[in-house]
Amino acid sequence: MAEFITPDNFDKDYEYIFSVPYDGKLSYELKVAQLGIRGLKGANLAPHQKRGMEIKLQGLQKKIDHYRKTKPPFLEELRKLVGAKGYYPNEFCKGWDDDHNGGPNPCHGWNCCEPFLKFNTNKNCPTDDTCWAAAYYWRLEKAAAHGGKMVQVLKDGRLGQGQAIEQEMAEKLGMDIITIQQGAGQDLKKQLKDAGVI
């Protein structure tokens, strides 16, 4: 899950791109909620309008609080162990559209188009509003150009829906995929050492 509105750094190159269990739709909802909650603090609204917005955002605020309490320690440990060499997409929230990303034929990044692409045309890179799949594919492509690898985290031996798409992206680019098991009794540090990541 993303840390909501943390800005991404598109100028940085990474040796490892993580593929981790992720709920892009919920992450986007949380980002919108966080922006809405911040906006309410300084908003010039009539009392009844402000109260209506507060009620609407209460449910999403509960999701934010729940996420912060239940953030998977395994994934935080992964980020810390690999450090600056690894791109951890859960730190950032990108764009999500139910039809474009969640329909029967979801975007795979390489086939993304406007109005979902939302690239910075001056720098030819994604923005924080770019479709998550297009932004992730751009990251993989950049890493693949200098021999980067994907570190894929399997939770309970299975890939999440988004991770299956990420795997297809890596395979299309001919990238090596290092698989790490997440779960009871799994030693993350040993797995990363054995794979030569750390």
In the predicted model, is pLDDT for residue 198 greater than 80? yes
Name the more confident of 67 and 196. Answer: 196
What pLDDT, on the 0 to 100 scale, is given for residue 127?
Answer: 85
pTM flag (> 0.85): no
| Cβ(16)–Cβ(82) below 8 Å | yes
Distance between CA atoms of residues 36 and 92, nearest Å: 17
- Residue 132 Ramachandran class (φ > 0 left, ψ -120 to 50 alpha, else beta): alpha
What pLDDT, on the 0 to 100 scale, is given for residue 102?
Answer: 85
Buried b (16+ CB within 10 A) or exposed e, 164-179: ebbbebbeebebeebe
In the predicted model, is pLDDT for residue 92 greater than 90? no
| Cβ(89)–Cβ(9) below 8 Å | no
Query: Confidence band (pLDDT; 50, 70, 90) for 1?
Result: very low
Distance between CA atoms of residues 97 and 116, nearest Å: 8
Contacts 24+ apart (CB under 8 A), 68-72: 71/1, 72/21, 72/182
In a domain, residue 41? The reply is no
**Segments of the chain assigned E as strands:** 16-19, 86-87, 149-155, 177-182
In a domain, residue 55? The reply is no
Mind listing the pLDDT tens digit for each residue in 4-21? Answer: 445 677 888 899 999 987
In a domain, residue 46? The reply is no
| Cβ(121)–Cβ(149) below 8 Å | no
Q: Give me Rg for the CA atoms of the chain.
A: 18
What pLDDT, on the 0 to 100 scale, is given for residue 4?
Answer: 46
Mean pLDDT across 38-61: 68
Query: Confidence band (pLDDT; 50, 70, 90) for 182?
Result: confident
In a domain, residue 45? The reply is no
In a domain, residue 129? The reply is yes
Q: Which domain holds residue 142?
A: 16-24+72-194
In a domain, residue 20? The reply is yes
The domain total for the chain is 1
Mean pLDDT across 93-121: 89
In the block, tokens 């309490």 appear at: 69
In a domain, residue 63? The reply is no
Residues 6 or more apart in contact with residue 69 via CB below 8 angstroms: none
In a domain, residue 132? The reply is yes
What pLDDT, on the 0 to 100 scale, is given for residue 100?
Answer: 92
Name the more confident of 22 and 186. Answer: 186
Distance between CA atoms of residues 180 and 155, nearest Å: 9
